[in-house]
Amino acid sequence: MQISFETFLDTGPAFRSGLPAAVYTDPDFHALENRTVFRSNWVFAGFSHEQERPGDLRPVTIAGQPILLARDESGNLRAYHNACRHRGLKLVETPANHGRLIRCPYHSWAYALDGTLKAAPYFCGRNQTPPESFPVDELGLIPIRCETWHDWVFVNLDGQAPPLDEHVAPLRRQLGALPLDDLKPVATLEFGTVRTNWKALMENFIEPYHVQFVHRTTTDQPLVSHSTVLDEHCLGSKCDIDDGAAGTGKNTLAVSSRFLTLFPNFVLGTYAPNQVGVHLNTPDGVARTHQKRVIYVHREAVLSEQEIEQTRKLWYEVHKEDHEMCERLQLGRLSRSVAEGGLLSPYWEDSVRRFQELLVESVAPATE
Ligand code: FES
Ligand SMILES: [Fe+2]
């Protein structure tokens, strides 16, 4: 793989280029991202409310690796490499409650929820009890740095990222007084696999340029009401419109909003008066991304089944409109004619530009 960033970095032209197309289509580049971007940053991995009881386990994939999120007996969420220390079997395949022990189905090694190895039956012969020389203390599940901010679980594979508080600070700043503590999840939309590179979905969320064209029937947020947000690694856009005009009875989105991200993959949107959506984009290879969205409202809000269903339907349609564009973007980028990255609007896509610069900065140490 030899991808040149020369055109992307060239400050000469009046209109700057986006990232080269190969960054979205080359499996080797995706492998590089897995060794860099998804190792060195806080990566959004899951929703805390989906595993509330001790023993609730959830397998996830981060940086192409099997990882296990586990609620321990003290109520903390922990992350481990999801591989048995005996011969490496993937320990947990589907989300479920496993009680107090995580038992490998192959030769029955068993781990406590704090990761310690509790049993390795008959490993040293016919006797159940291993000899003292067996290094039981060294054979626990290998932990990964994991922290939760409100309902959102983040992991940092290399353990070197700044504290999570620092990471979320610019997003917190952009959200102002929004009471994140008071949110409750009311619906989850599972989109499964979208046939596009993860960055296409992130960039699509960050830029407001497409909204009035792609979401013509589902939203009513004119382009002139939007502006972009660039606050350190918190990127996105905001839309301020007269909320008095909202609630016209049309089943569309016609309210002031914040569309914000944290590099690399955390996405949070606020939709006045009090709805928040968070979506999780998990790469599954260079041209496939799993996506799901959780919708939150204020904990005191009382919504009827019908209102929740209407909200789900609206967001399902909005996402599908975005998916179609992102999947076609993926296909178009196989054309040699856009190999150098196309053009970015200096006004509406400066936030995308910053996202792309962060990406280049994140992979740079591995390419020097
Ligand atoms: S691979 Fe897990 S017990 Fe053998
Ligand atoms: Fe969109």
What number does the ligand 1 atom closest to the CA of 120 have? 3
Atom index in ligand 1 nearest the CA of residue 107 equals: 3
Distance 260 CA to ligand 2 centre (A): 13
* Overall number of domains in the chain: 2
Q: Which residues sit with their C-beta closer than 6 Å to ligand 1?
A: 84, 86-87, 89, 104, 106-107, 109
Name residues whose C-beta falls within 8 Å of residue 214's C-beta, 6 or more positions apart in sequence.
321, 322, 325
**Residue 227, pLDDT score:** 92
Residues 239 and 328 in one domain: yes
Backbone angles phi, psi at 157, to 5 degrees: -65, -40
Residues 61 and 188 in one domain: no
pLDDT at 242: 67
Q: Compute mean pLDDT per 10 residues along the chain, 368 residues long, and list them.
A: 88 91 97 97 98 98 98 98 98 97 98 97 88 92 98 98 98 93 96 98 96 85 85 94 52 75 97 87 97 95 93 94 98 94 94 97 82
Atom of ligand 1 nearest to the CA of 89: 1
Q: What is the pLDDT of residue 254?
A: 64
The verdict on 25 and 77 lying in the same domain is no
202: its two tokens: 């992130």
Task: Write out the residue range of the structural domain in which residue 182 sits.
Answer: 6-38+170-367
pLDDT of residue 246: 46
Of the candidates 191, 186, 184, 192, which has an alpha carbon nearest to the alpha carbon of residue 309? 186
For ligand 1, the distance from its centroid to the CA atom of residue 83, given in whole angstroms, is 9
Please tell me the distance from the alpha carbon of residue 87 to that of residue 28, in angstroms, as a whole number. Answer: 27
CA 113 – CA 224 distance, rounded (Å): 52
What CATH number is given to the structural domain containing 179? 3.90.380.10
pTM assigned to the model: 0.94
257-262/266-271 β-pairing: antiparallel
